[in-house]
Amino acid sequence: MEETVIRVKRIGAEGTFGDPVDMKADEAVEELLGGSAILDQSQADPPFVLLKVLGDRAGDEKVFGPELNTAELVQRATSALVTSGVRQTIVEGLPVRWVASGADTLNLASAHILQTGAGDMSIREQLRTALDCYLESRAVRIQANIKWTEADMKSRCLIGGKLANFVDRSWAYKKLVPQWYQYREALNELDSKITGVVRRGLAGGRVLCCVGGGSESRCLHPTQATFPHRSRAKAKALYCFSSDLPKAWFKKGSGLNTRRRAAAKWMSKVYSGFKSQGRLASAGDLQSVAQKKFDLSEHAAKKAWQSISAKLKPRLGNIPARMRVSIDEIMKIS
């Protein structure tokens, strides 16, 4: 029995591609997943082995990142990803990758599933390109004066079925050899499987959806998001993964109450420190800095201050200029 081979191009040190080379399937898969090679678009036989690897791994939505499992996390993420109606590409200094609904999302999803990184072309896209190359160069084009049903086309390994000639009512098809027809069917099944994983990711907030554009963008709540996105208004939909969001958001102890207590402790330390030097920081300035430092709302920062103000006994009224601590000085304190 002839051993299965896969044709690849190795990637050089400077990102250049070498000449196509046939490799044993297991060796080729290792190099493809390791990012040291790409699938050559011209394959002698369908690369079923690689297709199976991706299919076997496409089942766990956790690869897209941590779950937004609290109302606070959902609010934090959606408000950070869209600010004043504008979709953000950077959140707390970290780049957020947005991809269009459809093939782009499936490609990035497959990269997450295989843990290979998106690169210039995901493995799913490479698998699709191999099929496209076969269809373009080796599939047989035929015309018939009958429009076959889906069942008839499947039994004949045909695809297409578009009206080619309005005069004689002939229909255009492409005839595939059985192996490549099965490969096309398996690729479509894989897309359905990845779509299912993406949808489960959306439900848990591991995948997030933004619709609209310009200054009218909005990040959808996980219960509202769909894939592919459907809207009567045909609003453009883009997706990102929670793995791009700050990891600190998902650590134990990063909840609102914890951050509010940390802010109160910090404001108490800062106020007392300056007071011991005969200087005073205003409550408004302390709250303003704490709001940004501990990712709090204005209301939460005020509540944090109120929890310590009775103990600190801050001065009421205006603070004399010679005693007042500037906000810049407060911001420098860790």
Mean pLDDT of 186-213: 94
Mean pLDDT of 270-279: 90
Helix (H, G, I), strand (E, B) or coil at 27: helix
Return the pLDDT at 86: 94
Return the pLDDT at 120: 62
Helix axis angle for 123-137 and 178-203, nearest 10°, is: 150
Closest-CA residue to 22 (of 41, 33, 34, 9): 9
Burial class (CB in 10 A: 0-12, 13-18, 19+), 251: exposed
Mean pLDDT of the chain: 88
pLDDT above 50: residue 201: yes
The alpha carbon of residue 314 and the mean position of all alpha carbons in its chain are separated, in whole angstroms, by 47
Contact status, residue 146 vs residue 152, Cβ threshold 8 Å: no
Return the pLDDT at 111: 86
Return the pLDDT at 193: 93
Residue 188, token pair as written in the block: 């479509």
pLDDT above 70: residue 46: yes
Contact status, residue 96 vs residue 89, Cβ threshold 8 Å: yes
Return the pLDDT at 116: 66
pLDDT above 80: residue 255: no
Burial class (CB in 10 A: 0-12, 13-18, 19+), 310: exposed
Return the pLDDT at 113: 87
Helix (H, G, I), strand (E, B) or coil at 179: helix
Beta bridge partners of 219: 210
| pLDDT-based confidence at residue 232 (cuts at 50, 70, 90) | low
**pLDDT: which is higher, 233 or 32:** 32
**pLDDT: which is higher, 53 or 14:** 53
Residue whose entry in the numeric block shows the structure tokens 């690849």: 8
* Percent of the chain clearing pLDDT 90 (strictly above): 50
Distance CA 139, CA 203 (A): 40
| pLDDT-based confidence at residue 319 (cuts at 50, 70, 90) | confident
Ordered by start, the domain boundaries in the chain are 5-132+181-248, 140-175, 256-331
